[in-house]
Structure 1
Amino acid sequence: MSRLIVWRHGNTDWNASHRVQGQTDVPLNAVGRQQAVDASELLIKMRPDMIVSSDLHRAADTAAALAALSGLTINYDKRFRERYFGNWQGLTMAEVAELYPDQYERWTHGQEVGGEVETLADLGRRVSEALHAAAELSPPGGTVVVATHGAAARQGIGHLLGWPLEQLRTLRALQNCHWVELTHDRERGWQVAAYNVGPFTDRPVPPPV
């Protein structure tokens, strides 16, 4: 049985201020760096065979904490980048609601936003393709850890599993440095083994943007 661990990056200052990151290359803050260390101490027990990461620093530096413990080399794949949010990037969600009320309303209802924002269909497709590629590169029955982003993780997993948007919306956003465990075998295909697993945190969940 093969296993994919789809891991959201640690906290950033933009997460903390509810600012839309998208593909802006925002670094981890001190909290996020500690989260990456704490999560890596749990993930190393799963004996990862390979680490793949988005090339954006907040994901890459999260992956680096696990690489330091495991001795594994990080493979980078741009397809694991966060959703591109166009003009929203750099704005707080309150500012998005004020400046782009129609788009914001569609976003809150899980609909395609329009404008410059990457479509959910395109996001799911590219991340799912990258997940397939990562799984194919792993040894038979191996465990691959993928460091990525909140919206990218959820939409990519949904596309991989063939879930409709309505079903995907029933999942809570991944907390920073938490992950989804997916397993695969010939009879059952891909299945969710665990969701939103990670180090303890008492912080509110930032939006996956």
Structure 2
Amino acid sequence: MPPTRIILIRHGETAWNAERRLQGHIDIALNTEGERQADALAGALASERFDAVVSSDLQRALQTALAVAGIHGIAVQTDPALRERCYGAFEGLLYADIEQRYPAEFAAWQARDVDSMVPDGERRAETFRQFYQRSIAGILAWAHRHPGGTVAVVAHGGVLECAYRAALGLSLETPRTFKVMNASINRFTVAQGKLVLDSWGEVAHLRQGALDELP
């Protein structure tokens, strides 16, 4: 099967990114800055040729994907496999509040215990390992559908982190030492069922800073 190019994009900024409130599966829209970033991103990718534009079904990713696809006159396909990690009871809370309310679980999360369970909330939480397996399988499935093509995948900071780790063979337990920026362009090739990193963190199209949501 010929290699597939994946252009992996993190959604534009939301108000909750700006105030360090954990989103997970809560469906938050882009803020004004995020909309500006999405438009700038679309302009930066205007000369690319895409066989498909695929997005998480959460609106912050979908809004970003619609800006990209609109320039190319193609429809956006959505896939819940590309959603951010589900954080259960942590969702909707400021990081400082999570630490105060759930000190043991917060400590395990920050220590990168990839099999630690977050308390369930309105939705059932995922471990990091479960999330990693789900998101990588989602990306590879779209590559498999478009052999030899180019697919824009618009997702979330956690999904981008998983792709970076998969491509470089990084242990899931190691600290995240790389930035995952809003509306960044990150280029991969999928060859023989494996992700290969070609470039990371392109943000020259964003004149203002893009926020990195720390894990």
Q: Quick one: distance in 2 between partners of 1:189 and 1:14?
A: 33
For residue 164 of structure 1, what is the aligned residue in structure 2? 171
For residue 159 of structure 2, what is the aligned residue in structure 1? 152
- What's the TM-score, normalizing by structure 1? 0.89
Where do 5+ consecutive residues of structure 2 fail to align? Answer: 120-124
> Is 1:135 aligned to 2:143, yes or no?
yes
After TM superposition, the structure 1 = structure 2 runs for residues 53-202 of structure 1, keeping only pairs within 5 Å, are: 53-112=55-114, 113-116=116-119, 117-138=125-146, 140-159=147-166, 162-166=169-173, 169-186=175-192, 189-198=194-203, 199-202=205-208
Letter matched to residue 78 of structure 1? P
- The equivalent position to 1:40 in structure 2, one of 39, 42, 45, is 42
Do the aligned partners of residues 78 and 161 (structure 1) sit closer, same or farther apart at CA in structure 2, a change above 3 Å counting? farther
- The 8 Å contact of residues 125 and 159 in structure 1, kept in 2 or not, is answered as no
Runs of 4+ that moved beyond 3 A: 159-163, 201-204
- Between Structure 1 and Structure 2, which shows a larger proportion of helix residues? 1
- What's the TM-score, normalizing by structure 2? 0.87
Bigger drift between 190-199 and 13-22 goes to 190-199
Where do 5+ consecutive residues of structure 1 fail to align? Answer: none
Superposed CA offset, 1:100-156 (max 9, x none)? 112222222222342334111111111111111111121x42110101010122124
Q: Matched residue pairs, number?
A: 206
- The 8 Å contact of residues 8 and 148 in structure 1, kept in 2 or not, is answered as yes
Shift of residue 206, structure 1, vs aligned partner: 3.7
- The 8 Å contact of residues 151 and 208 in structure 1, kept in 2 or not, is answered as no
Letter matched to residue 89 of structure 1? E
* Structure 2 residue matching 1:44: 3-state secondary structure: coil
Letter matched to residue 137 of structure 2? E
Letter matched to residue 176 of structure 1? N
- The 8 Å contact of residues 54 and 79 in structure 1, kept in 2 or not, is answered as yes
- The 8 Å contact of residues 53 and 147 in structure 1, kept in 2 or not, is answered as yes
- The 8 Å contact of residues 140 and 190 in structure 2, kept in 1 or not, is answered as no
Shift of residue 170, structure 1, vs aligned partner: 4.3
Shift of residue 45, structure 1, vs aligned partner: 2.4
Shift of residue 205, structure 1, vs aligned partner: 2.7
